[in-house]
């Protein structure tokens, strides 16, 4: 069992400047990139072991390409639906709660990369946030996102859950987190016990963000397996990224890995058009072509939903076959070709 202090020490001693990280890795890193850097020493070792141009280096080491001016600062329209500094109410019956603006690592492709930083602050708008939730009985689910909610201390998470427990209409609590992959020492028995102490009040769902099997160290797999409990639901979310997982073989391995480790595949996001991450984008046509063949490789129950956030706050839709919502007269076949059919 990891003591709570381990993960906090690991995080506070993380690399936050390119010079010391470059020295550790023994390789050059672009040092005039406009976005902050955060990589723990342990994860830096994994990046090193995976190779200078491996899928970990490409996801987490800063590069000049991030200084491009193309793309949007707020690609999915968070601002349009902000109700307090930490609450976004975009969908009728669920709301996003942002308890912090930092993460266990700063992913270079992140859709919120223009809002995050390497050391907080932890947002402090709890009263206004709770007031809003109390007066909106249609909200049934709170989605903790960020930033990464598992960067909060157990006390802080528990305070939030106690406060939310007093709002009768909230039934589901979802945590979106990269912590199980990146900072496994944080998946403590104390955190598990605290979360499971709320399961008579809420259904708790943990959505783990992972894009490639190589991201998982043996320690991360073991910590996750120790953390899992039949009282908690584990789902996956991944981003389809150019040069990282934009091929069927890698995706098949990833979805197999999730299922073998009791994580139910949930989302594969088409990348958002965020400023500073254009080099990770692939066209929707390419994404759909990759997706079209996945059914031939793995059964439907093992596939997540391939979704796209329509830019500027129009919300998520299925990226594979939007024709099923407003039928355009064609379906895509398994090779990604348009097949016209009668309406
Ligand atoms: S963990 Fe998620 S929110 Fe944090 S930097 Fe990575 S993609 Fe962004």
Tell me: pLDDT of 328 over 90. no
Measured from the CB, is residue 176 less than 6 Å from ligand 1? no
With bands split at pLDDT 50, 70 and 90, how would you rate the model's confidence at 323?
low
Dihedrals phi, psi of 198, to nearest 5 degrees: -100, 0
The minimum-distance atom of ligand 1 relative to the CA of 103 is 4
Name the CA dihedral angle for 72, 77, 79, 83, rounded to a multiple of 10 degrees: -170
pLDDT given for residue 171 in this prediction? 98
Taking only the tens place, the pLDDT of each residue in 7-40 is 999 999 999 999 999 999 999 999 899 999 999 9
Dihedrals phi, psi of 55, to nearest 5 degrees: -70, -20
Residue 67 burial by CB count (10 A; 0-12/13-18/19+): exposed, middle or buried? middle
With bands split at pLDDT 50, 70 and 90, how would you rate the model's confidence at 343?
very low
Tell me: pLDDT of 324 over 60. no
Q: Exposure pattern of 122-136 as b/e (b: 16+ CB <10 Å)?
A: bbeebeebbebbeeb
Taking each helix axis from N to C terminus, what angle separates 218-227 and 189-196, rounded to the nearest 10 degrees?
30
For residues 33 and 243, give the distance between their C-alpha atoms in angstroms, rounded to a whole number.
20
pLDDT given for residue 312 in this prediction? 75
Q: Which residue has the tokens 């598990």?
A: 192
Dig out the tokens for 263 from the structure. 């994580």
Phi-psi region of 332 (alpha: psi -120 to 50; beta: other; left: phi over 0): beta
pLDDT given for residue 77 in this prediction? 78
Q: Which of 88, 116, 208, 236 to mutate to test the pocket of ligand 1 (most atoms within 8 A of CB)?
A: 116
The minimum-distance atom of ligand 1 relative to the CA of 176 is 2
User: In the predicted model, what is the mean pLDDT of residues 138-144?
Assistant: 98
The minimum-distance atom of ligand 1 relative to the CA of 145 is 3
What is the pTM (predicted TM-score) of this model?
Answer: 0.93
pLDDT given for residue 4 in this prediction? 52
Measured from the CB, is residue 178 less than 6 Å from ligand 1? yes
Cα 342 to ligand 1 centre (Å)? 43
* List of long-range contacts for 256-261, beta carbons under 8 Å, 24+ apart: 256/298, 256/302, 257/213, 257/216, 258/210, 259/302, 261/221, 261/224, 261/225
Phi-psi region of 147 (alpha: psi -120 to 50; beta: other; left: phi over 0): left
Taking only the tens place, the pLDDT of each residue in 107-124 is 999 988 888 777 665 667
Dig out the tokens for 134 from the structure. 């109390």
For residues 195 and 179, give the distance between their C-alpha atoms in angstroms, rounded to a whole number.
15
The minimum-distance atom of ligand 1 relative to the CA of 178 is 1
Cα 106 to ligand 1 centre (Å)? 6
- Closest residue to atom 6 of ligand 1, CA basis: 107
Lowest mean per-residue pLDDT among 2-6, 227-231, 286-290: 2-6
With bands split at pLDDT 50, 70 and 90, how would you rate the model's confidence at 334?
low
For residues 214 and 20, give the distance between their C-alpha atoms in angstroms, rounded to a whole number.
24
User: In the predicted model, what is the mean pLDDT of residues 160-171?
Assistant: 97
Taking only the tens place, the pLDDT of each residue in 75-107 is 877 888 899 989 999 999 999 999 998 899 999
Mean predicted lDDT score pLDDT of the chain: 91
Tell me: pLDDT of 127 over 80. yes
Taking only the tens place, the pLDDT of each residue in 36-81 is 999 999 999 999 999 989 999 999 999 999 998 888 888 877 888 8
pLDDT given for residue 44 in this prediction? 98
Question: Does 191 or 315 have the greater pLDDT score?
Answer: 191
Whether residue 37 contacts residue 106, with contact meaning beta carbons closer than 8 Å, is answered with yes
């Amino acid at each position: 069992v990891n003591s709570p202090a381990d993960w906090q020490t690991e995080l506070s001693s993380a690399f936050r400047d390119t010079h010391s990280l470059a020295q550790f890795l023994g390789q050059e890193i672009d040092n005039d990139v406009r976005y902050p850097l955060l990589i723990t020493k342990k994860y830096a070792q994994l990046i090193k072991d995976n190779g200078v141009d491996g899928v970990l280096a490409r996801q987490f080491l800063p590069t000049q390409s991030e200084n491009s001016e193309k793309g949007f600062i707020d690609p999915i329209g968070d601002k349009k639906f902000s109700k307090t500094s930490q609450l976004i109410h975009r969908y009728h019956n669920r709301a996003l709660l942002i308890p912090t603006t930092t993460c266990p690592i700063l992913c270079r492709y992140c859709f919120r990369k223009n809002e995050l930083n390497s050391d907080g602050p932890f947002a402090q708008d709890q009263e206004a946030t709770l007031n809003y939730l109390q007066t909106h009985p249609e909200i049934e689910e709170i989605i903790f996102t960020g930033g990464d909610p598992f960067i909060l201390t157990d006390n802080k998470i528990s305070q939030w859950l106690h406060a939310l427990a007093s709002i009768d209409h909230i039934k589901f609590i979802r945590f979106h987190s990269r912590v199980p992959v990146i900072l496994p020492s944080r998946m403590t028995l104390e955190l598990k016990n605290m979360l499971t102490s709320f399961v008579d009040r809420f259904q708790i769902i943990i959505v783990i963000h992972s894009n490639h099997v190589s991201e998982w160290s043996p320690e991360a797999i073991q910590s996750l397996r120790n953390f899992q409990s039949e009282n908690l639901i584990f789902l996956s979310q991944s981003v389809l990224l150019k040069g990282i997982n934009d091929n069927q073989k890698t995706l098949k391995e990833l979805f197999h890995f999730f299922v073998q480790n009791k994580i139910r595949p949930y989302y594969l996001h088409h990348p958002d058009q965020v400023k500073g991450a254009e080099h990770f984008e692939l066209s929707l046509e390419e994404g759909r072509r990759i997706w079209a063949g996945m059914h031939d490789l793995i059964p439907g129950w093992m596939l997540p939903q391939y979704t796209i956030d329509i830019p500027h706050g129009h919300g998520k839709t299925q990226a594979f076959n939007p024709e099923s919502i407003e039928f355009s007269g064609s379906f895509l076949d398994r090779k990604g070709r348009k097949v016209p059919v009668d309406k």
